[in-house]
Chains A and B, each alone.
Chain A
Amino acid sequence: MKEILLCKCGELVLKGLNRRKFEDRLQKTLHWRLKKVGNFKVHGCQSTFYVEPLDENASMDEAMEVCRRVFGLVGVCRAVVCEKDIKDIKEKAALYLKDLLNGVRTYKVETKRADKRFALTSPQISREVGGYLSDVYAHLQPQMDDPQVTVRVEVREDYAFVHGGPIPGAGGLPTGTSGRGMLLLSGGIDSPVAGWMMAKRGLELGSVHFFSYPYTSEQAKQKVLDLAEVLSKWCGKLTVTIVPFTHIQTEIRDKCKEDYFTLIMRRFMMRLAEQVAIRQDCQCLITGESLAQVASQTIQAINTTNAVCDMPVLRPVIGMDKEEIVTIARRIETMDISILPYEDCCTVFTPKHPQTKPTMEKVLEEERKLDVEALIAEALEGIEKVTLG
């Protein structure tokens, strides 16, 4: 039996004259991502994209895994392809959904008839198929209200499809339709979630990681690359720009007051991230800051760190509790990597009592002790890039 994936578009169908742009981008994304797992044809019509395997080696399981992570889709159905003939539809439905139907007691059939030339109306098709299924599977009870399984029949232009309902898609808007954003990726729980949330809203991501060897380890760097790999399954190809950060940190430690260490360090990160963002055509920065979660994330601290860059800084988890962030981290499968014990640069030289209510004057006074421009230039000089996905 030939199978096909029906990918249902989400929010983009509400777009007006530029809807085509969103659809094109989504189609391209599906095409590129599926290319890695096999030979598939992707074509779309009427808010659904069809993913058709072109040879036997194309694994439908892997294609499902790819499609459920593509932003812009709200659901993915794995369906059997039928001739537009009620007999073929009935028989294939019974055969294809055998395992699913054997595991439940109540069901109903719902039909969508896009091709109005088809001889039977939607309710007639549902009745025909339902009657046949009840004959084949004696244990099944039709139930219109909240059945365990809804068998869906879709009669389209060239073929009819039967499936047992969609699995949820990733939602959001197709990658890249909202521009590009530069994610500050630390290795913790919050930043991958923040990146994922903004990618979901259609941003294409770049990422920047600050690396403090030997204070932080090669494993810590690998951990960030592993996180980027997982993120890339959702948001596509992801480049991690690794910025050497050790000299900046030791300079801050040697010259500035201890309680301002973290703040001044964060200001350097924002400056560097913005520079990297400009070089890589990004229009915004993305951070995993959550208000008041740590000392450098109080509103006063954010004021002082935000002041060094002109680009908008998106902070999608700013109003979320840790538990809410963790729920998403588990869903997108970054959690298990994030909790590996390797230290990141943020925990090198942490002050005993960090400043939670800094003033701008004080921060500037401390920063004047450093040659900021030279340090930034030196760090940008040592950049290393790794592309995942």
Chain B
Amino acid sequence: MEHYLDNAATTAVLPCARAAALAAMEEFGNPGSLHAKGTAARKILDDSRKALAAALGCKPACVTFTSGGSESTNTALRGAAQKNRHLGKHIVSTQIEHDATLNTLKALQNQGFEVTLVAPEMDGSVSAEAIRAALRPDTAVVSLMAVCNETGAILPLREAKAAMKQICPKALLHVDAVQAFCKIGLPMDIIDLMSLSAHKLGGLKGSGALYVREGLQLQPLIYGGNQESGLRSGTEAMPQIAAFAAAAGERMANFRENCEKMAALRDQLIVEAQKLGCKINTPADCAPHIVNLSPCVGRSEVYIRVLSDRGIYVSGGSACSRGKKSHVLTAMRVSGKNADAALRVSLCPETSEEDIDAFLSALADAKKMF
């Protein structure tokens, strides 16, 4: 029996997404072609865009399909910085962002932008006051993740936007919602740009989207045949796009009960892990699907191996940075022992109580190894 608890790294492909991808492969035409084959593919593309827009609660024209979260973030940040450079060369973000954001900002720094990264509190949350304190009248772009991929912390987007309105009203707000979409409600009315990924919610890898607020024009990263309204050239990845829309549709149709179910399991996991002597590196008010916990003895990679041998899959920190010390836990000033042994357990709506129990009992055994 396998217990997959690494859903923040990637998820199993949902049956409806798989079916949609297969259908899009059968209907193989290029949506740019004028003949019947092209028209049929164009219909799938249009329907997918409408479905994803409905899941997001926005107009279809605001959705641009991309190759994934990293591409969306690159396009958004580079485009926004370029667009708003007349306002100033200052960008505000946080120390706990995903590397897609941090490394794009580093690249912008090398082009002369000044970047302020807000530090998290010791519990992993980011305070609205700290974000406000980082804002300046010449701040051109603010980039915040909606949910932290390592800890599940939810960032105060509304409060940040309120502060922006007072200090830098023309600055653009980019939200990295890769871990948040279909897990928490998103304040679409205040977001200018938003990065999404398909494979965190039952879609396929190599697929994502960028939400661009109506009326906002950005410079593309990729030039070519002007697909996706010119913002993202390249023949559309039809199976991925169809799968993304199907998965998002299904997840949002059951949004409330999914979240409640995951949140209940998360709370149970936190309580039981604390009984085992684990420190919880996830703040109190957090996303329903991510818990970062640490037995505070031993090393993450050893736990991952031991659990993996028992068919239980979790990760240490984020799966993208294997072997490296977590920059998020470091920013939270978590103690060395805690950080060395930290594990990220991430759920999906299909996660069951048995999965959580299996993890906890394996963790209790593994802890004795140290």
Q: Which residues of A contact B (CB under 8 A)?
A: 213-215, 217, 250, 341-343
Contacts and interface: CB of A to CB of B under 8 A. Distances in A.
A214 B309 contact: yes
A247 to B, nearest CB: 12
B245 to A, nearest CB: 38
A341 B321 CA distance: 12
Contacts of A215: 302, 369
Nearest to A347: B299
Nearest to A214: B305
B56 to A, nearest CB: 39
B22 interface: no
B306 interface: yes
B309 A341 contact: no
Q: Which of A215, A217, A250, A342 has the most C-beta atoms of chain B within 10 angstroms of its own C-beta?
A: A215
A338 B323 CA distance: 15
A214 B309 CA distance: 9
B234 to A, nearest CB: 35
A215 B369 CA distance: 9
A214 B302 contact: yes
Interface string B296-323: 0001011001100100000000000001
B306 A214 contact: yes
A375 B14 CA distance: 50
B370 to A, nearest CB: 8
Contacts of B299: 343
A342 B299 CA distance: 12
A213 B323 contact: no
Contact of A341 (B306, B323, B369): B323
A347 to B, nearest CB: 10
15 contacts: A213-B305, A214-B302, A214-B305, A214-B306, A214-B309, A214-B369, A215-B302, A215-B369, A217-B301, A217-B305, A250-B369, A341-B323, A342-B323, A343-B299, A343-B301
Nearest to B324: A341
A220 to B, nearest CB: 10
A328 B320 CA distance: 33
Nearest to B366: A214
A213 B309 CA distance: 11
Contacts of B323: 341-342
Contacts of A214: 302, 305-306, 309, 369
Enumerate the 3 nearest inter-chain pairs by beta-carbon distance, A residue then B residue, closest first: A214-B305, A341-B323, A214-B306
Secondary structure call for the B interface:
helix
B3 to A, nearest CB: 17
Secondary structure call for the A interface:
loop
Contacts of A342: 323
Contacts of A213: 305
A181 to B, nearest CB: 33
A215 B309 CA distance: 13
A215 B304 CA distance: 10
B145 to A, nearest CB: 27
Given A213-B305, A215-B302, A217-B301, 12 more contacts: A214-B302, A214-B305, A214-B306, A214-B309, A214-B369, A215-B369, A217-B305, A250-B369, A341-B323, A342-B323, A343-B299, A343-B301
B364 to A, nearest CB: 16
Interface in B346-370: 369
Interface in B257-305: 299, 301-302, 305
B297 to A, nearest CB: 11
Nearest to B309: A214
A346 to B, nearest CB: 14
A14 B296 CA distance: 63
A217 B323 CA distance: 12
Contacts of A217: 301, 305
Nearest to B322: A341
Nearest to B303: A214
A215 B299 CA distance: 9
A341 B325 CA distance: 12
Nearest to B305: A214
A342 B302 CA distance: 11
Nearest to B298: A215
A217 B369 CA distance: 15
A215 B323 CA distance: 14
Contacts of A341: 323
A213 B301 CA distance: 11
B345 to A, nearest CB: 19
A187 to B, nearest CB: 14
Contacts of B305: 213-214, 217
B15 to A, nearest CB: 33
B326 to A, nearest CB: 15
Nearest to A253: B370
Interface in B171-227: none
A250 B370 CA distance: 9
A61 B305 CA distance: 43
A72 B301 CA distance: 44
A320 B186 CA distance: 61
Contacts of B309: 214
A230 to B, nearest CB: 22
Contacts of A250: 369
A341 B324 CA distance: 9
Contacts of B369: 214-215, 250
Interface string B241-267: 000000000000000000000000000
A227 B302 CA distance: 23
A214 B307 CA distance: 10
Q: Which of A213, A214, A341 has the most C-beta atoms of chain B within 10 angstroms of its own C-beta?
A: A214
Contacts of A343: 299, 301
A343 B301 CA distance: 10
A229 to B, nearest CB: 22
A213 B369 CA distance: 12
Nearest to B306: A214
B360 to A, nearest CB: 19
A342 to B, nearest CB: 8
Nearest to A220: B301
A215 to B, nearest CB: 6
A109 B305 CA distance: 64
B221 to A, nearest CB: 32
A214 B323 CA distance: 15
A180 B91 CA distance: 64
